Amino acid sequence: MPHKDDLRNIITYFAYKVPNLSKTKLIKLIYLADLEFYKRFRSTITDISFINYHYGPWNPEIEEFVERECGSTISLEIVQKKSGEIIKINKPKLKETTYDSQRREFWISLTEVVKHWGSKPLPKDH
């Protein structure tokens, strides 16, 4: 698992920048941030090992980390879809927050991911 502060910053950033952020989309965005960072700097931000799951990259520790470590900045809202499916949405708790990382490269990668993928919906079966 990566340094807790970096992962907390990434999750908080995405929760504030991407509306209605489900756990599936969050994990995909973290994966894409690692890919973007790797393209530029030949290392990843998180050092998370992802597995190839039915809906794409997955790591079960991320969901647990959100619930355990991000409670001061984001909350989990339970939403029931018309289909009856219940999903958890990561919502900001405050109107704004600060992020701790001083690494400029870190923020460039996250900003690029939000710009290109933040508003794109997941396929209907996610």
pLDDT tens digit sequence for 47-63: 899 999 887 899 988 88
- Does residue 98 belong to any structural domain of this protein? yes
**The tokens 């600060």 sit on which residue?**
98
pLDDT at 80: 80
pLDDT at 28: 94
Q: Distance between CA 37 and CA 78 in Å, rounded? A: 32
pLDDT at 98: 64
* pLDDT by 10-residue block (mean), the chain, 126 residues: 76 89 91 93 90 87 86 82 76 70 79 91 66
- Does residue 104 belong to any structural domain of this protein? yes
pTM of the model: 0.82
Domain limits for position 24: 4-113
- Does residue 18 belong to any structural domain of this protein? yes
pLDDT at 26: 93
CB 9 within 8 A of CB 45: no
Q: Distance between CA 124 and CA 114 in Å, rounded? A: 20
- Does residue 108 belong to any structural domain of this protein? yes
Query: Distance of alpha carbon 49 from its chain centroid, rounded?
Result: 15
- Does residue 124 belong to any structural domain of this protein? no
Q: Under 8 Å CB-to-CB from 11, ≥6 apart: which residues?
A: 26, 30, 62, 65, 66, 70, 74, 90
Q: Distance between CA 77 and CA 89 in Å, rounded? A: 5
pLDDT at 2: 55
Secondary structure E strands in the chain: 21-22, 51-53, 56-58, 74-80, 86-92
Number of structural domains, the chain?
A: 1
pLDDT at 42: 92
- Does residue 123 belong to any structural domain of this protein? no
- Does residue 118 belong to any structural domain of this protein? no
pLDDT at 67: 82
